Structure 1
Amino acid sequence: MAFKKAERTQLYLRCALFGPSGSGKTMTALRMAKGIADTMGVPFAVIDTEARSASKYADRIPFDVDDLSEKTVDHYIAAMNECVKAGYRVLVIDSLSHAWRELTDEVDRIAQSSVSKNTFSPWAKVNPKQKRFIDAILNFPGHIIATMRSKTEWVIGEGKGGKVAPEKMGLAPEQGKGIEYEFDLLMELNQKHQATVTKDRTGKFQDESIDKPGEAFGVALYDWLSSGTAAPAPETKPAKTGKVKTEPPKAVPSKLPAEPSTAGSVKDRGKSIVQEIGQLITTVSESGSAYFTEGEKEEARGIIQTIKLDEAGIRDLGDLKGFLADELAKRKTKQESTRAA
């Protein structure tokens, strides 16, 4: 491995729009996608989970659509794989929030059926689905513009003629915590269809307020994205899904190095990961306080006992280890910030 001079390559857009109902997320996404697709000279596709809301604009903006009736992570991923097979290079996902709702509902079901009612164990089981979903978005070989619902709050503002009037405000997007890190461009829309760019890796639009962004804004983004050196041809291998219709669930890829699939090596790898998990859940702070409760430790050990030490089990253990490592890092950060305050 050697260092070399960094250079910016041509990129695929990863843009997310969020805002309350009526802020114009769908129309904005369609118009931006049209600007990019027209510049490229290609059609674009839409994955619609919002009761065919995108198709209401089909008389003004031409596009191809897949109206998802089953709004699960695996059906989202299956639809994205179909986009790859069909050769679409611009995709709108309207919206991501139903995928998150599936996961939170599943966590609630698992927690309520358990004796402890603890959500720690359910999230350890469900988190790999979210990872698969994010990986599918990041690895899509084309531009993606996604929308997310946001929780709504009413505040008192100034209406017409200076009169007091209620105003609808959007809060955090309805998706996983930290979802904003996965996108290059994050835009918050208000009821006047104005977008505030809250994150911008292009460095061109950060903190700008854009009135009704549309085709021209899409073209401006495409010009920046295509201005680098040519990127290597992307892999078009389908993203991994779980169970969709009659297909058997597929395990999530792990970050573990590939090794010969002999019984001995698999068991050795499994024991090694179990030991690492044990070290994570028994970590204590400098003051001697534990980061994980005894109940959470038992939850983790209970999950391990249900995992068979084969190749699929190794991947499951790797996912559990990753989840616990992330959780430990969050708790350490929280403890340090509390101490600093």
Structure 2
Amino acid sequence: MTFTFKKAVRSESKLRLALEGISGSGKTYSALRLAKGLGGKIAVVDTERGSASLYSGLPGIPEFDVLELTDSFSPEVYVDAIHAAEEAGYNVIILDSITPEWSGKNGCLELADLYSKGNSLAGWKKVTPLHRKFLDTIVNSKCHIIATMRSKAAVSMVDGKVKKVQDKTEQRDGTEFEFTVVLSIDRDSHNAVASKDRTGLFKDPEVLTEETGKKLLSWLSGAATISPEIQAEAEKAAQLGVESIKNFMASLKESKPDQHALFSDAEKKRLYVVARKADINATQQGK
């Protein structure tokens, strides 16, 4: 047998991203905004009783088509839905959510009970290959995949206040290994925090937007980091004041949107802090 190696390039990769959070954290809304930045036609496989359609037409939300699953959430149904979206020419598929594949009607837990007939091992022997095919279909899809997962809520004291926080995600243990990025969304702030991140782009909490999608798209195409030249220009602009850095960012967004998208919210805030200090110093020196 002959084996041939080739140079690894990210340009051939598609996004595999999971969003987890408790009810009300904004998983669907965040997925749609992120998908807008990835570009192309968007398909939503909706298992949440039409919740995705409620966002249609809102500011910042792209146009999208929806397939509502209501009668069965078996692994095979998800697989067929993904293949249908691929054949229809969609660029992004949002699976909202994949929790029913595990714990919903005709989901893995229910099928395992059905097939077990008093022997749980016999039940899982039949169900595990179905679940594996579901995950393989996600991993091997020619589309970008964004999957949401429900999390159970727990109560915790945060800064002296009772707050609902994320507990266990409702999917099979180990599902997160199939995704490039897994983000947990806080219900109160809607900030996304990475619990797994192979991109290195999510070092700080951030609200997911169209810019996040563009940033990920740049990473997938190989432009993973801000070029040293662009970073140096940004630093120089910040040292000249707020108006200077504002004009620089606006120009960069127009001329090099892929590089602009790589500036995180935290980095932009840092540059503006530098710029404000520069303005204050200039004012004091002028007195």
TM norm. shorter chain > 0.5: yes
Partners of 1:125 and 1:169 in 2: how far apart? 35
Match of 1:27 in 2: 29
One-letter code aligned to 2:210: E
Contact 2:29-2:55 within 8 A present in 1 as well = yes
Where 1:35 maps in the other structure, the secondary structure is helix
- Percent of residue pairs bearing the same amino acid type: 38
Alignment of 1:106-117 (within 5 A): 106-111=111-116, 113-114=117-118
Supply the AA of the counterpart residue of 2:192.
Answer: A
Say if 2:115 and 2:126, in contact at 8 Å, map to a contact too. Answer: no
Deviation, 1:227, is 2.4
Alignment counterpart, residue 192 of structure 2, candidates 190, 195, 198: 195
* Structure 1 position 213 matched with structure 2 position 208: yes
CA distance in 2, matches of 1:132, 1:173: 20
| Cα displacement (A) at 1:6 | 3.3
Structure 1 residue 5: Cα displacement: 6.1
Identify if the C-alpha distance between structure 1 residues 169 and 8 changes in structure 2 by more than 3 Å, giving closer, same or farther: same
Aligned partner of 1:172 in structure 2 is: 168
SS of residue in 2 equivalent to 1:31: helix
Tell me, in whole angstroms, the C-alpha distance in 1 between the residues paired with 2:190 and 2:113. Answer: 35
Instruction: Give the TM-score normalised by structure 1.
Output: 0.59
Cα separation, partners in 2 of 1:90 and 1:110, compared to 1, 3 Å:
same
Give the unaligned 5+ runs of structure 1. 159-163, 229-341
Structure 2 contact 92–145 (Cα < 8 Å) conserved: yes
**Alpha-carbon displacement from aligned partner over 1:288-308 (angstroms, at most 9, x marks no partner):** xxxxxxxxxxxxxxxxxxxxx
Counterpart of 2:147 in structure 1 is 146
How far residue 105 of structure 1 moved from its aligned partner, in angstroms, is 1.6
Distance in 2 between residues matched to 1:33 and 1:63, nearest whole Å: 10
Q: Root-mean-square deviation (CA), in Å?
A: 1.7
Aligned residues: 213
CA offsets 1:55-100 (integer angstroms, 9 cap, x no match): 0100222211101123222211111111111100111110000001
Give the distance between the partners of 2:199 and 2:7, measured in 1 at CA: 16
Corresponding residue number in structure 2 for 1:226: 221
Alpha-carbon distance, 1:3 to partner: 6.2
Tell me, in whole angstroms, the C-alpha distance in 2 between the residues paired with 1:181 and 1:198: 11
Write out aligned runs for 1:15-164 (5 A): 15-37=17-39, 42-60=40-58, 61=61, 62-70=63-71, 71-101=73-103, 102-111=107-116, 113-114=117-118, 118-158=119-159, 164=160
Kindly state the Cα deviation for residue 156 of structure 1 after the two structures are TM-superposed. Answer: 2.0
CA distance in 1, matches of 2:64, 2:3: 45
Give the 5 Å matches for 1:268-307.
Answer: none
Distance verdict in 2 for CA 1:139–1:7, change over 3 Å = closer
SS of structure 2 residue aligned to 1:52: coil
Distance 1:107 1:195, change over 3 A: same
Using the size of structure 2 for normalisation, the TM-score is 0.70
Partner of 2:276 in structure 1?
none
Q: Secondary structure at the match of 1:99?
A: helix
Alpha-carbon spacing, 1:66–1:209, altered in 2? closer, same or farther (3 Å): same
Moved over 4 A (4+): 2-5
Aligned to 1:301: none
SS of residue matched to 2:85: helix
1:277 counterpart residue number: none
